[in-house]
Every structure is written in structure tokens, then in C-alpha cells.
Structure 1
Amino acid sequence: MKKIYFPLLSLLLVTVATTHAQTTAAGRKTLSFDKSWLFFQGDPSGADKTSFADAQWKKVDVPHDWMILGEYNKDNPTGRGGGYLPSGTGWYRKHFTMDDADAAKQVSIAFDGVMANSDVWINDFHLGKRPYGYISFMYDLTGHLNFGNGKSNVISVRADNSVQPASRYYTGAGIYRHVRLVVTDALHIDNWGVYVTTPNVSADKATVHVKTTVVNSGRSTQNFTVKTTFAAADGKPVNASTSGGTRSVPAGGSVTVENDYTITKPELWSTDKPALYQALTSVSVGGKVVDDQTTSFGIREAKFTAEEGFVLNGKKLMIKGVCLHHDGGAVGAAVPLRVWERRLQLLKDLGVNGIRTSHNPVAPEFLDLCDRMGFVVMDENFDTWEANKVRGEGGYDKFFKQWGLTDTRDMVMRDRNHPSIVIYSIGNEIHDNLGDSSGFKKYRDMQDLIHKTDGTRPVTMALFRPNVSKVYDNGFAKMMDVVGQNYRENELVAAHEAHPDWKVIGTENGHTLSAWLPMRDNKYMAGQFLWTGVDYLGEADWPNTVNGQALLDRTGGSRPLSYQRESWWSEKPVVHIVRKRDNAGGGPMVADWTPADMAAYTDARVSVYSNCDEVELFLNGKSLGVKLKPANDAPRDWSVPFEKGTIKAVAKNGGKVVANDELKTAGAPAKVILTVDRPKINNNWDDVAYVTAQVVDADGVLCPNSDKVVTFSVTGPAVIAATDNGDLANHDSFILPYRNSFKGKCIAIIKGSAMGAVMVKASAPGVATGSVAINVVK
């Protein structure tokens, strides 16, 4: 079999307005279609018809996840995978008008995701069906619309999530991602029709290759030209424009135009400095621009090698990654962008530089964030092929045979311009037989399709127990561009030693020291992705409803294991104190100095996570000794006779203090204090503020054993979108304005409703009330 080598990957992202109308000078209009939908949870007959009476339906804006608003019940058919939340069918309808001026235009509707098995109608005409709830899709409305004042249009969407269990993790339900209306001339750039690569990159210059597909939906042949101009991230023009000459496209046809441009002294995109450029691609007829698209892109060289692992811009980069599911905790699957921005920043602060989209296409704006914030991404399509999985028997395996290649193609077409994406994965722990010709064909068909659609990135999959399935020996692994394996890290090391020409990566890994060292000690390992970065809904045994194996809980709170990983992955000096919760080393690790039963707690087993040369531990000012950094990155451990007061760790490099950490014993709860992650938020759907309530003693020390009920209230132009805590077994609805403090903390997610000053207050029985101010702008 011909060996495929990927010398470099350097790509861009396509930016599309999701929260406002965007009109170019050429006349292309990209209009948010999120507001003023009508929703009904159920399956009424005739709801696809324009004449259907929907006046009593609930008014909602999308993105909208009705599943997260339901009640937890152990007997719900979603089961452990869906977090025991309800399933069923939901309908959405929207009444709208179109301007007469657009009557001769091409009009399309774009959905970033509908969960699941969606059917869409416009004015009684069935546009199509898409089973996969994670895929983005577009329908042409041309020829089915009414134009002019007083002439209404009705679009109807049915989302059917009733067949359960549909997934091993929480899916959400409904139109849970953004929707847009796109209006263009008959001659226009195709959907996902701009594709940019940089085949040659150096510090002196970069070749930017722009491939543009132009569609002619008109009735006659058109002559046109395509041109691209460039600007730096600060808006200053870059002298690299050119024209590809006049081309011709027949009625009903399409033509792809390819042009090369040179940018001198480029700023290279990297995880440390994610520099982005702007490209404006325009299509002109007779000297008049009829369509254009703006693209943000990053110039960078990326490759996987059998010797150095992953190399970015000529330097080895260890991918320190995490797996992430698509839900946002208390907001369910309809996730405001700020939720992801906050989570990604918290992960970056721990040293994380990579994201695996487990196990499905994510919202496009999530990838925009990765581009801007400097994460490398493994873009993954499926959790199942044709063989189902336990607790997911009603899922995608029913549709793979018909839709697998279509959904894979659409994912790659949509995502191939993001500089953050460096590799595709086409399956997670697939249970299909990978030892016969049918299994080989399924993999090869998808890999070949990706090579054809995007020839710049390699393909992998998350192999499941490969030594058991014999895929290392039967030729399956040999045809993979990069060999990926879940867990059993030493097996992957042994596979590379047996096949030194293989490129290898850990696609899913645990948090343990034994999982970390194989990557640290073998430079050919491209990296690993921890399971997981943030807690996700579902895949939990009742009474738990949340999978709790992550670095961060679903509120963004750090777990002790995140401190250990930070000590291995962060470039800055790190020191953190943790202890075993129970006496003499019992229970899980906690990061406090306030035992629940102080009378019975005499023997504290303390660990210090640090990347520094030496750490000295103090208890109430008395030194408990100095310990040097172990060669194997293990924590430094002490057995400490417990005393109330303060325990402190002081870390040094070269004899100089570079970091310290301390924990104090809390007294009785005295007050609630509030903090907010940002004092100003914008008045739009994608922006929120996180208000954290902490129950503290009179000196402001967190009371980690407090479970007081905290009630939030808001005055001013804002609403409480959700409340939450880190309790894996909390069954209260997220939309309630109160929440038990879990380990002394809980949060409220605040969303603006108009411009102005907002005051958030939080009260709890027997303690003083706290408050914090937020300003809603724009």
C-alpha cells in the first residue's frame, strides 16, 4: 500500500456571524435566525403544515436545549448515558417575512446542529432529514418562499430524540446550536466553498493557496473573476493580492478556482502566539463584486513524525491534551460561547494545549475559540460505526451505513480551514470487527474521503484494546496515518518499538503517573488526551448523574488531580498542598485543612504537587522538612500530626522562593462572599458571567464542609440563566435560583437582558448576605 506522508498542515478558520446580521458590500447577507421561535414538547399531528395553529406554543430563542430543563428520574429511558434526563420529540416553528428586494436572490438556511433525527419544512415543503444531531447542514429555500409585506413564511423543525438509549453520554435535545439565513446572488461562493492551505511556510515567507468554489444557480452562463486580499490581525493591509483571471461557469454548474499568494515575514500561528490573518475572497462579474467572504486564518507548519512526535513550526510540541464532551454543565447542550472561553482559559492555565472533541463534531464557534486561544485539536466524528455499544443501542449505529461518509465529509468540509485542527479521528473505541475486510474498508473509505477533502491533515482513530483485537498485527494499524490508542500507554510504546516507522499518539489517557511517564520519556510520542478535561453530563451510575473523572468539575472548580497534572504540564513554577480526606490516609484527596471530624482526625497524609527543585512544608510556622523533586515526578509526601491552623508549602528553584501555597482551618460559617469572573458582559446570547458564592468563616476562610442552601437574586437588566455546584449526585433543576453549597461553593450563571447596572445577591440561613456588581454593556 502506498505510504502517505503529510509534510505540513497550515490552515485557517472561516468566520460566520452567529449573533448578528452581517451584510457585505457585495450584497451577501448572513442573518441570525435565532430569535422568536415557537416550541412545543411533544409530537402533534400536522405541525409541518403552514396552517397549523401554534399560537399557544412557548416562545423561545435558539440555541435551545429542552432536555436540560427536565426533571431527573432514575427510570427515564435515557438512563446513565443521558444523565437520567427526559427524552422525546420536540417541534419548532418560526413565522417570518422576506423583503421584495430579495425575491431574485438565492436564500438558504444553515443549522449548526439539531438534536436529533431532524426534519425541516418550509411552507409545507419537506427540505430534508438529518439523523446525526452533531452535524451542521444547510438547505436551499429558493423557490419555496413568499416575498413582500404581509406575505408570511413558516419554517417547521421536528427533532426526535425519543429512541433511547441514544448515546453513552448526554446529547441534549432540540435546536441547540445557532441558525442563520444566508442570502446571496445566483452566482455565489458555495457553502464551505473557500479552502485555504499554506503549502510552504518559513520565517521569511509563506505561500497561501486559496481554493474557491463558485456556484451558478442562474439560468445562463456567467463569466467571473475571483480575487483575495489580505490583512493582518490588527487590520493593516498585507500586500499579497492577485486575480486569477476570468473564468466561465454554466447555468446550474460550479467551478473551482485556485490561486497562490505570497506573504512575506509572516507571523506564525502557534499555541503560545495564535496569530491570525484576515482574507477577503470576492467574486466579480463585469467588474462588480457579486459575492465575498471574509476568512480569519493562521499560517503555520505542522506535521506528525515517527521520530519527534508532533512538530509545530519546526519545533517539537508535546500535545498536552484533554478530551471534552459538548455539554456546558448547567446550560446543557445549548452552550453560550463564554462558557467555553472560561473553561478553555482554566485548562490553559493548567498547561493544557490540546483538545479532543469527544466523540463528535462540535459547534463551529468552539473551534473559532481554539484558533484564537491557541489549542491544537483532534477533530473526531463518531463514537460508533455499525456495531452498537452498551447503553447506546439506539444511537448512530442505526445510521452509519447510510450517513457515515456524508457526515464525515460535511464535518471535514466545515472544519478544514481551522488552524487549530491538526488531526482527524474517525472513531472512538469502535466495536466493529477490525480484523476482516469489512472493517478495513470502513476505515479506509473514511480515511480516503478525508484525504480527498482535506489532503493536509492525517487521520487516526482511538483504538480499543488493540492487542486483544490484534490490529497491531493484522495490518489494520499499518494503514493508519497516525496510530492512536486509548489507555494502556506501555502497549503503544511497545508497538512503536516494534514498528519504528509508525507515528503514534495517546487518544485517551488516565491521570496517573504511570500514564504520564511514557509520554514524558519517549520523544516519538506525539502527546495524549486526558479523560477528561471538564466533567460532563451522563455516563454515570445513579444517584450520580455526572461523570466526575475530570481535571475540573462542571462549575470550573479545580480538583486535586488537576494540581498534579499542572505540576507536570505547566511552564510556570507550581506548588499545591492536598491531603487525604480521612484519618491515616483514607478517602480521596482534598485541598483544605478543615477535617469534617477534627476530634477523630489525628494523622494527616499530605502530598505536595510541585515542579520546583525543592519544597519545604510548614505547620503553624514550624518546618516539617525539605524534600527535593523526585526524578519520576511523583508527589512529595508527609505524614503530619494534625493541628488546627495553617499548613504552608514553600517552593524554591536555585535557592530562590518561586511559589507557595497555604491552607487554613476554617471556623464556623459566618457569611457568603460573591466573586464574578468578569465585571462587564455583553447583552447577547453568547455572553454570561459566572458568579461564585463561597460560605466562609469570619476571617474569610472557605468552609469546605458547609452545605447551606444559597439563594441568588438579581436586580437590574439580567437574569439567572442557571445555578450549579460540583455535586455529582445533585438532582435539583438547574433553572432554580437556589443551590446547595457543595464543599462550601456554588455558582450562578448570569445573562444580560438589556444594558445597565446589575446587582447579584446571595443569601443563606444563619450567615451574612453577599453581593457583587455586574455591568451589562452593548
Structure 2
Amino acid sequence: MNRFLLVARRTASVALLLSSFPALAQRVTTPFDADWRFLKADAKGAEAPAFADAKWRTLSVPHDWSIEGPYDQANPTSRGGGYLPAGIGWYRKSFTLPATDAQRRVRIEFDGVMANSEVWINGVSLGQRPYGYSSFSYDLTRHLKFGKGQTNVLAVRADNSVQPASRYYTGAGIYRHVRLVSTSPTHFGEGDVYVTTSDLNHETAKVNVKAEVMNQSATASEFVLQTTITYGSRKYGPFEAKGTVAAGKSAEISLPAAINRSILPWSPDSPNLYQAVTTLRQGNAVLDEVTTPFGVREAKFDAAKGFILNGVPIKIKGVCLHHDAGGLGAAVPLDGWRHRLELLKQAGVNGIRTAHNPVAPEFLDLCDQMGFLVMDETFDTWTAAKNNGEQGYNRFFTKWWEADTRAMVLRDRNHPSIVIYSVGNEIHDNLNNPEGFQKYKMQQDLIHQLDPTRPVTMALFRPGQSKVYENGFVETMDVVGQNYRENELVAAHNAKPERKVIGTENGHTLTAWLALRDNQFMAGQFLWAGFDYLGENDWPATTSDLGLFDRIGGWKPIAYQRQSWWSDKPVVHLVRKEGNAGAGPWVANWTPTDFDTYDDGKVEAYSNADEVELFLNGQSLGSKSKPANDAPRAWDVTFAKGTLRAVARNKGQEVATDELKTAGPPARIILTTSRPKLGAGWDDAAYITARVVDANGILCPNADNQLTFTMTGPALLAAVDNGNVASHEGYQVNQRKVYQGQCIAIVKAKSAGGAITVKASAPGLTDGTTTMETTK
């Protein structure tokens, strides 16, 4: 069914100090990240309000204690968890509430706690949540103390001691944001506000606002639902509908609305976001209010034309991303994701698969704002275990799949970036029997009930072995997703052209790219992976190295090659085999590790231009035209120190160049920052890149100097890192060895209103410095 979707996310409309809550005010959302007490150990009785925690560490969340290390081959997380620590952590927070709040409803919202969490308020258990990726909330109202001098204690126990619990790094603790939400007794319920549209053209769209209203008062409540839509100075509405909710009940009400002029659709190239203000009124009182950014777009998967957005077929050029960010672990500030998504955009990527679990909600906000197409995924396992993660979600699926799926879809269904859901990755449950069919169908049916506007898929594993193309299983899927074996997926479509197909996980090969490029029906691909990620490698390696980019955002040759296939801009990049006569990996430098034994250079150029000419020290080594199959252009080059230069041309006109220069001995350090202006919030962070260069400023790719970082001003060093997947160095220190000539320091501002200067030094090298201005 063709439908246009007006998609929305909820945001808190007000954030006030706890002490200033008015008795009958609308929703008040208070950040609850600061001033927690933490203990990295089990503590009997720590849920009790009077428990002595004065000697516990004071910190703010989000917080991942596992990334603090140390690395140890004997750690029970083993290969999957990157050999980082596991165990039990406790968090406690004390707070007060004014007496006027006794007439309101108060709940606590967690965006994610890793893992097997239990939450108490004033010694009363509120519940448990095994899946560390799920967002959840608890109503605190009946157990709270109100008024001056009445202290409440929130306690959280997170337990990931049972290992191995994952095939990849999970982190540990309250690693996402927490907030306290206070509402009137009548307020928006679990489903919040859900907005869809239809009959959209360039000028108008019909809009339907559907809201769940919950009445937790003692009497029936009559209310008015009102929505106003804005885009800049444009305003649509207000639109109103009336309803009644019985005491202790909830009801769903639909509100027809419209955008009646100059629609600006959402797309990767133009991620236009409107705003809607939805209020719940009783007489003149506003009971609840949510301000929502949203986008308008039509997304459709077609068996013949692949993926169609706003009436235009486009290819989803995606990558899979795990939820860690190298040295930051799982507690990733928004600027960390922004830094990574900016690099992926440069490489031509327009899609993200959230592998293999729900992500932080602000990550999806960023995808909305930056224009990424998202496959939103639930689970890596159902009931069957996987190697190196035998103690994972397979232990909880039967009891918890419905609650965890519901939580993800209700939270995420209004994001314009999300175009498809996935309910599993390489599931090892038997899909060749009725039970396997039912496990998939019950998940797909629930998602269709909660969000009928998007299709559902899963990442099929070895379909030939599971017989899913023969037994009718794939005919139950909205879109057929398969990992790797791209030509097998093409053949499956060709055998039954009514099948809609997408590559859910793909390699970096030319063959994989051509399967997408040359088949219109192929909706897209998601490369494994966008960035190197912690875990899923064998000691001494601690990090999977299959990303387009390394842990610190360094471009790999495969990223340059992918850019030549996926970018709309003219590009050219030079790489060579690191060893003599074609030995070793591809590298993007002209500085051999051993000048005495290197003379036969195997060189390739990755380019989307018609013609590439190669020069060595100004002498042409010949021009080569673009192959029909997009293969790289190759030269055999007798090595000589100096400059290797590529010139790319379209129709005889130069459109791009690239140079590799031979580096001399390391001489100095150059620092650059990703953020010349740095905010003081938790989600603000600057990536400081340190490069060891020679006297002429050429990167020294063989340098391995250990750098020491120092700072002045209101600065906090959040982490240091490099791209070495086998490094066992700590992250939360002020020293790091460069790897391939580079490392990074991730810096936060402790307060606004001053300048931060970062310096990197090493014996025998000239110091490097960079300065940032702090802002509110």
C-alpha cells in the first residue's frame, strides 16, 4: 500500500528544577543524569534507602564502566566482549520532590541499562529488565515521599556477570540517559502521539494524529486534543478533537489535520523537519504537551524497482553499526555519533542498519536531521544460542521478546529516518518447521499492529541450508533480507520476481557492489561494517577490523574504494600494496617500512572519473579509462622517493586529484579539532586528531611515538584512542601511542565561558596545540 508518512519523535516540552514543579502544570521532564553514586561490585542491601554509600564514587551517567578496563585475556567476556571486564555495578541517586507533586504522576525513564537491571525506589523493587538495549520506564508515584526534608533514593543494579553474553561488545552500567517525568493524572500514555499522512502532493497532505490518553485520576475526564504544525514561519492549525476517558482507563483518539501548502518532503538530500505541538487540555488547563520534530515522506519497497522514496527509486547505500564508539565504549555522546555519521556521508553512505539491537533514541534523532535511511533492528538471537555469546538474549527471548519489541517500535515509529524494521540477525532457530514460521510471524504481526506504515524483514542466514526459499518462509516476509551471498539473493528474486529483496549485511567486494548496481530490484545493501567495533576478534586483537573506518575515524583503503562507487562527487584515491611486489595489505602512503627491500610497487587508483592519469615525480606513467565494471585502475611502479600523483578527468577536464608523498623522519605533532566551538553538555565532544609528521608536514605512517596530552581551561579528557585493533592500552588516561602516524584525544568541556587549549608532546618532537572556544 502506498502511504505517505508524517513521522514524529517526542521531545520534552519543559525542563525545570524539581523544586519548581507547579501542582497542575503540564508535563515536566527533568534530566536525571547527574550526581549518582556508583560501586563496581555487588553490595548486599544497597537497595535500602539508609544504605551507606558515602564512600562510593560520584559520577554522572551515561556511564560505561567496562570500557575503563583493563584488558585481560582471562576476562569472561572473552572474544565477543573484547576481553574487557564484566560483573555487577550499583548506582544510587537521592532527590527530593515538593509537596505539590503529590497530586501528580511521576515516572523514571531509562534509555538503556546494561544489563539484567533491577530498579528500586525507596527500597521497593519496580521491576527487572534483562535486555540492556531496551528503553523502559517505571511509575514511581505510589512509593515517593513529597515535601521539604523528604528524601527519595533511586537504586539500580546492573549485572552482566553471566558470560559470554554477546558476540560483540555491550558495555556495562547506566550507559544511556535517564530522566524524571512528571505529569498531571491525565496524560499521554505509552503510545504517546502517532502521526501519519495520506493524499500528499506538492501542496497538501492529510494528517492524522493518533494519541493514547491515560486517565489515572479518580473521576472520568473530558479533554480536548490539539495539534499545531510549524515549519519556520509557516503555521498550520490548530486542529482539535474531543474525547472522554473513564477513571483508571486509557483511550485512543484520532485527530484529523492537514498541511495545506508547499510541502517540503524529507529525504537524505533534504532532511526537512517540521515541528508539531500536541496538547491535551481540560478547560483552560494544559494537562500534557509534547513538541515534536517530524518529517513528511513516502517510503515504499517494490519488487521491480527496489526502494522508492517520494516517488523516486534510489539505492540504499548503507552500513551496519554497532553501538560502541571505540575508546568511549557504549556511553557515546551525540557528537561522537555526529563525527562518525559525517565521515560516512563523505564516503557516500545514506543508510544505517542498527546492528543488532535498538539504539539510543538521540542517535535516531541525528539520523533524522542528517538524512540517513535506517533499518531498525531488534535482536541478534531468538531462542538458539550463538558461539561466543551462549549466555545472551537466547535465555530471555521467550519471555521478553514482546515487551522489548513493543518498547522499540512505540519509541521509534515516528522517526522519518526509519524505513524498515528487522526482527533478527542470522537467527539460528530452525526456520524449516512450523515453530520457526510462528516465531517470525508473531514478531512481524506485532510490529504491523503498532506501526502499519513500515515493512518487516530479517537478516537470513545461509538460506540454502535453512530451505527458506523452498519452504515458503520468505513469502511470509514483507521484504526478503539476506546476509552476504549477493548473487544467491539475486537468483532468489529472479526465480520469483514478486519478491522484494534487500541486502541486510554485505561485504566490501566488487561482486557485492555490482549485485546492487546492476539490479534495479535490489533495494539496497548494508556493508559489514561502517566502523571497526569492540569485540568479535581473537586475542591479542580486541576489535573487529572489518569497518570502512577504523576506531578513530581513519579512512581505510576500502572506504576510499567505496566512495568511488557510492559518492555523487568526483573522487580519486591512490593506494599501494604495503609489501614489495604485491605483498601485504593496501595502504594509502608512499613511505615503505623498509626502503632497502621495496622497489616493485603495485598501485591502484579508486575513482569514479572517466580517466585517471598517474604521475611519479612529475613524469606520466600513463592514463587509464574507467572499466565498465568499476574495477580499480592498476599500475606497476618502480619505487622512487618523492610524489605519486593521480589526476582524474571527466571529458578531458580535471575534476579531482590525489597525492602520496614519501615522508622523512618524524619531526613534529599536528593537532586538529572536529569542533572549534565546544558546548558544555554531556553530548558535546571534540575529536582532537594528533598526526606525527616530518619537517615538511607529511604524515609519517610508520611512526609509533607515545604522545602525552595536556590541557588548560575548563576541559575534561574523555578518552584517548588509536586505530590499532591489538592495542591493550587504557582509554581513560592522558597517553597514547600513535598508530600509522595518528591517534586521537576526545575532549569535553566542564563549563562554558572560557578557552580550552590541548597540547600533545613526545620526546624528540615539536609539540602540537589546538584551541577551542567553549559555548553554552
Question: TM range, normalised to the smaller chain?
Answer: over 0.9
Matched, 1:141 2:140: yes
| 3-state DSSP of counterpart to 2:403 | helix
TM-superposed CA distance for 1:654, in Å, is 0.9
Query: C-alpha separation between the residues in 2 aligned to 1:199 and 1:127?
Result: 41
| 3-state DSSP of counterpart to 2:227 | strand
1:14–1:297 contact (8 Å) kept in structure 2: no
**How does the TM-score come out when normalised to structure 1?**
0.98
TM-superposed CA distance for 1:200, in Å, is 2.8
Cross-structure match for 1:108: 107
Cross-structure match for 2:199: 200
- 1:238-285 deviations in Å (ceiling 9; x for gaps): 2233111x3111110011110121112210000000000000111111
TM-superposed CA distance for 1:191, in Å, is 3.2
Identify if the C-alpha distance between structure 1 residues 109 and 409 changes in structure 2 by more than 3 Å, giving closer, same or farther.
same
Matches within 5 A, 1:399-438: 399-438=396-435
Cross-structure match for 1:47: 46
Query: C-alpha separation between the residues in 2 aligned to 1:420 and 1:599?
Result: 53
Q: Which amino acid aligns with 2:666?
A: P
Cross-structure match for 1:606: 603
Cross-structure match for 2:229: 230
Q: How many pairs does the alignment contain?
A: 771
| 3-state DSSP of counterpart to 1:103 | helix
Cross-structure match for 2:731: 734
| 3-state DSSP of counterpart to 2:578 | strand
Query: C-alpha separation between the residues in 1 aligned to 2:187 and 2:764?
Result: 65
Query: C-alpha separation between the residues in 2 aligned to 1:16 and 1:43?
Result: 34
- 1:553-597 deviations in Å (ceiling 9; x for gaps): 110110010000000000000100000000000000000000010
Query: C-alpha separation between the residues in 1 aligned to 2:25 and 2:269?
Result: 36
Deviates more, 1:24-33 or 1:758-767: 24-33
Identify if the C-alpha distance between structure 1 residues 330 and 724 changes in structure 2 by more than 3 Å, giving closer, same or farther.
same
Matched, 1:722 2:719: yes
Matches within 5 A, 1:534-613: 534-613=531-610
TM-superposed CA distance for 1:18, in Å, is 11
TM-superposed CA distance for 1:165, in Å, is 0.2
Cross-structure match for 2:504: 507
Cross-structure match for 1:746: 743
Give 5+ residue unaligned stretches, structure 2. Answer: none
Which residue among 250, 258, 263 is the counterpart of 1:262?
258
Matched, 1:382 2:379: yes
TM-superposed CA distance for 1:8, in Å, is 4.7
Matched, 1:251 2:247: yes
Q: Which amino acid aligns with 1:15?
A: T
TM-superposed CA distance for 1:767, in Å, is 1.0
1:206–1:299 contact (8 Å) kept in structure 2: no
Cross-structure match for 1:277: 274
Query: C-alpha separation between the residues in 2 aligned to 1:200 and 1:540?
Result: 50
Matched, 1:398 2:382: no
TM-superposed CA distance for 1:296, in Å, is 0.7
Cross-structure match for 1:14: 10
Q: Which amino acid aligns with 2:202?
A: A
Which residue among 464, 468, 473 is the counterpart of 2:470?
473
- 1:80-121 deviations in Å (ceiling 9; x for gaps): 100000100100000111112212110000000000000000
Cross-structure match for 2:213: 214
Which residue among 303, 316, 319 is the counterpart of 1:319?
316
Cross-structure match for 1:65: 64
TM-superposed CA distance for 1:131, in Å, is 0.4
2:13–2:28 contact (8 Å) kept in structure 1: no
Matches within 5 A, 1:115-126: 115-126=114-125
- 1:474-494 deviations in Å (ceiling 9; x for gaps): 011010000000000000000
Cross-structure match for 1:764: 762
Give 5+ residue unaligned stretches, structure 1. Answer: none
Q: Which amino acid aligns with 1:120?
A: V
CA-atom RMSD in angstroms: 1.3
Query: C-alpha separation between the residues in 2 aligned to 1:89 and 1:242?
Result: 50
Query: C-alpha separation between the residues in 2 aligned to 1:20 and 1:176?
Result: 23
Query: C-alpha separation between the residues in 1 aligned to 2:135 and 2:2?
Result: 27
Query: C-alpha separation between the residues in 1 aligned to 2:359 and 2:181?
Result: 21
Cross-structure match for 1:183: 182
Cross-structure match for 1:161: 160
1:9–1:422 contact (8 Å) kept in structure 2: no
Which residue among 604, 612, 621 is the counterpart of 2:618?
621
Query: C-alpha separation between the residues in 1 aligned to 2:385 and 2:7?
Result: 35
2:13–2:27 contact (8 Å) kept in structure 1: no
2:482–2:504 contact (8 Å) kept in structure 1: yes
| 3-state DSSP of counterpart to 1:298 | strand
Q: Which amino acid aligns with 2:199?
A: N
Query: C-alpha separation between the residues in 1 aligned to 2:284 and 2:45?
Result: 49
Q: Which amino acid aligns with 1:761?
A: K
Matches within 5 A, 1:272-311: 272-311=269-308
Cross-structure match for 1:661: 658
Matched, 1:775 2:773: yes
Query: C-alpha separation between the residues in 2 aligned to 1:733 and 1:696?
Result: 24
Query: C-alpha separation between the residues in 2 aligned to 1:140 and 1:379?
Result: 27
Cross-structure match for 1:342: 339
Deviates more, 1:13-22 or 1:718-727: 13-22
| 3-state DSSP of counterpart to 1:301 | strand
Identify if the C-alpha distance between structure 1 residues 210 and 411 changes in structure 2 by more than 3 Å, giving closer, same or farther.
same
Query: C-alpha separation between the residues in 2 aligned to 1:571 and 1:68?
Result: 38
TM-superposed CA distance for 1:651, in Å, is 0.4
TM-superposed CA distance for 1:14, in Å, is 2.2
Q: Which amino acid aligns with 1:196?
A: V
Deviates more, 1:203-212 or 1:213-222: 203-212
